[in-house]
Structure 1
Amino acid sequence: MQKKTTTPPPARRLAAAAVALGSCLALAVPAGSAGAAAPAEAVQTVFFGDSYTANFGIAPLNHIDKPEGWCFQATENYPAVATRQLADQGITLRVQADVSCGGALVHHFWQKQELLPGSGLTVPAQQDALKEDTRLVVGSMGGNTLGFSSILKQCSAKLRDQALVPGAPVDPDSPAGECKDFFTSGDGKAWLDYKLEQVGYELEEMLLRASYRSPGAERVLVGYPRLVPQDTVKCLTAAPGQTDLPFADIPADALPVLDQAQKRLDDVMKQAAADDGADFVDLYEHTGSTTACDGANRGIGGLLEKSELELLGQAIPWYAHPNEKGRDIQARKVADKIAEVLNR
């Protein structure tokens, strides 16, 4: 496999101007501390992101009678829940748009996204929702650019024929049972290293574009909840009421590899936010006890566990996305960070 040459994004040439327009770093004052006061006016807000912001798997869906319905955006996704939680604290978000869409890659922040391959159905670039008066931009992005679903398909023979899961295995000729060795040496390791590098510079461009579009906006990048626990032995037991293991047929020795890939993604996202003066919600750090392998306490639906959605009468699996418990954790952490940002 030939490694692609990394080309710096065009936005870097605009970095000086964009950063000058962006939000400056300030010392954070914890929400609720002495002297902190909620904003007196409603905060113009845009939510962006991929299936983890849209909360794939939770019913009912927004835009069900429109092409955007294929974004699988839940009516009660974490942006909606966090907005209500903040209202209860006296902080009003006036949501200008929630453009989160399942399957979105980072570059869909500035390019239109095709919803179904070959269908011609598209949604506009997510940045189009940002306005000059937008004061808060919040969302999760990066997992699809990394190709996490391709990693899962590389390691699961059962997942390879699941059409709703975007992407393909990195190397379909390499058996799923050998994915640990595939990602820790040779072409597989080189592919993973390159994809993480790509996520970093594309997130940099995304954050710069957000500042350019909305010069006065605070930007909050939201990480991903942890999928695999530190103790992977827990993944060898099915959750209550389930027959499939949380990660189906993915080999036990590959689970730490999946976790390490996610941890590296979390570090890349955290660094991109820090480098661009944005805020970061580190969900990975705070969800180690609610992974897909934590039984009745799981905040992540199992890979092939039935979600709340159906398509043509068939139940759609969670594909390792947050269930309602996980969604509530996302919402609480995001609401806490937004309150901190707006009160400082």
Structure 2
Amino acid sequence: MRSVTTSRSLCTVTAALLVALTPTTPASSAGEPVPTVFLGDGAVAGYGIAPLDESRLPCVRAAENLPDVIEDQLADQSVLLDVTADVSCAGAALHHVWEEQDLGDGVTPAPPQKRALTKDTRLVVAGLGAHTVGLGRILKQCSARLRGRDGALLPDEAVDPESPAADCAAYFTKGAGAGWLTKRFEQADKDLEKLFSEIGSESPSAKVVLVGPPRLVPEDVTRCRAALPDGGGRPLADVPKTAWGFLDEQVQARLNSLMAARARTAGAHFVDLYAATGAATACDGTDRAIGGLLEPSGATLLHQRLPWFLHPNETGRDANGDAVAQSIATAVYGLAPS
């Protein structure tokens, strides 16, 4: 188990994440590690956090990512994990759990994430969904900078390049984008259902935890007007003000509700990060737990500094990991809150 040394200044959010769920079997003793598999996208993999795991470069996975924090924090509560696989990969959508993931020209695709699951797996922690609803494509629809060279490392394309970025809120709420977005959420609903089915088929004895997305835009969107403290631009770059509320309410909150409902139907445990991270969004200055859009991250790949695409930064990784671990310990293993 690797030690995570970054300070966890936002660990107080864990209290808000204790979901009312009937406790199951008590936690394993120190002598009984729980065979565990982590599935996920860039938020789980730790995109943008240095140093990178050199053995997983195509997936841009951090050497110390969300699973490391979760493992570390659960160990403090006498829940030891035997992490048999962490197959999280930047850019992964829900369907990459059962289909291979294209990682670019000349790069071997990432195999379906479900291949890491076995009959012996006893805990599955999954964090995916944003790419299925098309968050990257939505951001490119709303940002002229992302459509140019600044967005070259974000492989998604704008939904309609002919529609101006400045009009994206109207495009998605009144224009052709509204139907596109509806279809993306319909697909996410089907894929979430299939996610639980695939996990149940491969690992029928596993407890399943679905981790929701941390909040990107605060309820008070005026906080997004302030420049980033280090002078790296504005938290949402050139995304128009008219789209800030849309991103929060019609994309993130809607996805969070869908994930919670699907987890409940499947009998899985849902960790509601969105509900607890409203004071640590990309727009919260020195307290931000999300890297500002196009803000330089700490990671370098192929001699190029990676920009943030609204992924959790080190502070967010640590706070979210603490929160997920506390929620698992309490709701899944029946331990008293620490």
TM over 0.5: yes
Q: Which residue of 2 aligns with 1:212?
A: 201
Alignment of 1:1-344 (within 5 A): 28-29=22-23, 37-40=26-29, 41-62=32-53, 64=54, 66=55, 68-116=56-104, 118-161=105-148, 162-260=151-249, 261-340=251-330, 341-343=332-334
- Contact 1:39–1:343 (CA<8 Å) still a contact in 2? no
Give the C-alpha shift of residue 120 in structure 1.
Answer: 4.4
- In structure 2, relative to structure 1, the CA distance for the partners of 1:27 and 1:140 (3 Å cut) is closer
The two structures have a TM-score, normalised by structure 1, of 0.87
Deviations 1:4-51 (A, max 9, x none): xxxxxxxxxxxxxxxxxxxxxx95239xxxxx8531211000001110
- State the identity %: 48
Deviations 1:293-317 (A, max 9, x none): 0011100010011101123433211
In the alignment, the residues of structure 2 paired with residue 182 and residue 140 of structure 1 have an alpha-carbon distance, to the nearest angstrom, of 28
- Contact 1:219–1:279 (CA<8 Å) still a contact in 2? yes
Q: Report the residue type matching 1:265 in the other structure.
A: L
Deviations 1:67-120 (A, max 9, x none): x3110111111111110111111110000000000111111101111111x324
The two structures have a TM-score, normalised by structure 2, of 0.89
In the alignment, the residues of structure 2 paired with residue 155 and residue 282 of structure 1 have an alpha-carbon distance, to the nearest angstrom, of 26
What secondary structure sits across from 1:302 in the alignment? coil
Q: Report the residue type matching 2:113 in the other structure.
A: Q
In the alignment, the residues of structure 2 paired with residue 139 and residue 166 of structure 1 have an alpha-carbon distance, to the nearest angstrom, of 23
Return 5+ residue gaps in structure 2 as ranges: 1-19
Q: Which moved more, 1:327-336 or 1:170-179?
A: 327-336
- Contact 2:23–2:333 (CA<8 Å) still a contact in 1? no
Give the C-alpha shift of residue 241 in structure 1.
Answer: 1.2
- Contact 1:57–1:323 (CA<8 Å) still a contact in 2? yes
- Contact 1:242–1:305 (CA<8 Å) still a contact in 2? no
Give the number of aligned pairs. 310
Which structure ranks higher in relative contact order (CA pairs < 8 Å, sequence separation ≥ 6)? 2
Q: Report the residue type matching 2:334 in the other structure.
A: N
- Contact 1:135–1:218 (CA<8 Å) still a contact in 2? yes
Deviations 1:231-283 (A, max 9, x none): 11111111211241101111111100111111001111111111111111111
What secondary structure sits across from 1:44 in the alignment? strand
In the alignment, the residues of structure 1 paired with residue 155 and residue 317 of structure 2 have an alpha-carbon distance, to the nearest angstrom, of 21
In the alignment, the residues of structure 1 paired with residue 325 and residue 98 of structure 2 have an alpha-carbon distance, to the nearest angstrom, of 26
- Contact 2:39–2:113 (CA<8 Å) still a contact in 1? yes
- In structure 2, relative to structure 1, the CA distance for the partners of 1:112 and 1:243 (3 Å cut) is closer
In the alignment, the residues of structure 1 paired with residue 142 and residue 204 of structure 2 have an alpha-carbon distance, to the nearest angstrom, of 43
